[in-house]
């Protein structure tokens, strides 16, 4: 096999390993095997730079931006969510949906990831760029920084044109490690994983972002009927087929009791999760039911965020200002 062929095969193989690891959560090789193949690719690319592929995993970290992030217009606004804080309010939401539709629809419940919203665009399957939510209409271009997140594919498994949206987050373990490093270096530590994720994707230098071990869960998007989905639950099953990472802990719920069962289970296992969540998002499942309900000025009438009670912050003795 000549160098060009080997570079193409190694690129494809490494991207497939990343898909197994990040999207299927079922790696077929060890990290050592991955690293060995990655080093082999780096070595070949150094000797034959003309054969480097656009979606090579070695090409994810670009150069430092000079001054600031460009603004990006979201053709389809990135909505916010109404919040509810107790079971009565959540049942009121479900009752308002039933009144709006004339029947009680199927719902999908998802974990509410405590990160920052991102929009990622693909053209014929190739990564085009990424932007923050901003005010919902105008965000900041973070294309170079999102490119450093290994869970974000540079090429979809199908040549689709679509915009996909989700949450970039910093896993709890990465957050702990980062703050330990910063404390060691006498730097200010981050207050929580959400702030450190936001700070990490808004770095002008992608090399810094690349070191922050960020991850992503995708949950919505802008697409046409060629994607072949007609509900939120079908979308959440379809995105992984394209190579896009979805949080698997979602559940279809037909009644308020089923929603409570999910809320109780998630509240129970929240502390075991590798990432922070601050509630549950309950959405009407079928897109035609969502459209029938429509939107308020800034949020859908077909979705709500049920926020967990704020954790009683365990103020550590060292944090108490002794007067």
Q: Please tell me whether residue 55 adopts helix, strand or coil conformation.
A: coil
In the complex with ligand 0OW, the residue whose CB is nearer, 45 or 278, is: 278
- Applying CB under 6 A, which part among 25-33, 107-115, 141-149, 234-242 lies near ligand 0OW? 107-115
Q: Hey, which residues between 28 and 87 contact ligand 0OW (CB under 6 A)?
A: 79-81
Query: Is residue 290 a contact point for ligand 0OW (CB under 6 A)?
Result: no
Among 164, 303, 304, 306, binds ligand 0OW (CB under 6 A): 303
Does residue 113 bind ligand 0OW (CB under 6 A)?
Answer: yes
Q: Reduce the DSSP state of residue 283 to 3 states and report it.
A: strand
User: Which residue has the CB atom at the shortest distance from ligand 0OW?
Assistant: 113
- Is 112 designated active site? yes
Q: Distances from the Cα of 231 to the Cαs of 39, 49, 249, 288, 296, in angstroms? A: 42, 44, 17, 8, 20
Give the CA angle between residues 255, 222, 53 to the nearest 5°: 125
109 binds ligand 0OW (CB under 6 A): no
Looking at 74, 112, 147, 238, which residue binds ligand 0OW (CB under 6 A)?
A: 112
Sort residue 189 into left (φ over 0), alpha (ψ -120 to 50) or beta.
beta
How far apart, in whole angstroms, are the C-alpha atoms of residue 281 and residue 245?
18
Do 255 and 227 contact (CB within 8 A), yes or no?
no
Give 290's strand partners: none
The reply to whether 163 sits near ligand 0OW by the rule CB under 6 A is no
Least distance to ligand 0OW, CB of residue 215, Å: 13
Determine if 171 is a binding residue for ligand 0OW (CB under 6 A): no
Q: Which stretch binds ligand 0OW (CB under 6 A): 14-22, 93-101, 111-119, 137-145?
A: 111-119
User: Closest Cα to residue 162, out of 224, 113, 211?
Assistant: 224
Residues between 206 and 225 that touch ligand 0OW (CB under 6 A): 219-220
Q: Does 117 participate in binding ligand 0OW (rule CB under 6 A)?
A: yes
CA distances from 110 to 41, 318, 320 (A): 38, 36, 37
Do the beta carbons of residue 254 and residue 225 sit within 8 Å? no
Least distance (Å) between residue 121 CB and ligand 0OW: 17
Residues with active-site annotation:
112
| Interface positions with ligand 0OW (CB under 6 A) | 79-81, 110, 112-113, 117, 133, 167, 219-220, 281, 300, 303
């Amino acid at each position: 096999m000549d160098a060009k062929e080997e570079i193409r095969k190694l690129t494809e193989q490494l991207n497939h390993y990343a898909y197994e690891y990040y999207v299927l959560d079922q790696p077929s090789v060890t990290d050592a095997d991955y690293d060995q193949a990655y080093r082999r690719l780096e070595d070949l690319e150094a000797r034959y730079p003309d054969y480097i592929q656009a979606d090579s995993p070695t090409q994810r970290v670009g150069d430092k931006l000079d001054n600031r992030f460009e603004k990006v217009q979201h053709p389809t606004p990135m909505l916010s969510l109404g919040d509810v804080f107790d079971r009565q309010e959540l049942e009121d939401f479900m009752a308002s949906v039933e009144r709006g539709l004339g029947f009680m629809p199927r719902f999908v419940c998802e974990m509410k990831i405590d990160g920052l919203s991102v929009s990622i665009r693909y053209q014929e399957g190739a990564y085009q760029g990424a932007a923050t939510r901003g005010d919902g209409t105008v965000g900041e271009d973070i294309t170079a920084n999102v490119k450093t997140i290994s869970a974000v594919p540079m090429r979809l498994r199908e040549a689709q044109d679509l915009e996909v949206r989700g949450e970039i987050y910093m896993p709890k373990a990465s957050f702990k490690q980062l703050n330990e490093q910063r404390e060691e270096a006498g730097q200010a530590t981050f207050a929580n994983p959400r702030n450190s994720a936001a700070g990490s994707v808004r770095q002008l230098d992608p090399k810094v972002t690349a070191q922050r071990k960020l991850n992503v869960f995708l949950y919505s998007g802008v697409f046409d009927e060629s994607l072949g989905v007609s509900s939120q639950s079908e979308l959440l099953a379809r995105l992984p087929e394209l190579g896009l990472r979805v949080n698997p802990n979602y559940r279809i719920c037909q009644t308020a009791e089923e929603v409570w069962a999910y809320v109780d289970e998630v509240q129970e296992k929240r502390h075991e999760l590798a990432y922070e969540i601050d509630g549950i998002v309950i959405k009407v499942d079928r897109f035609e039911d969502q459209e029938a309900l429509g939107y308020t000025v800034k949020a859908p009438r077909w979705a709500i965020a049920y926020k967990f009670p704020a954790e009683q912050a365990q103020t550590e003795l060292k944090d108490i200002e002794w007067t």
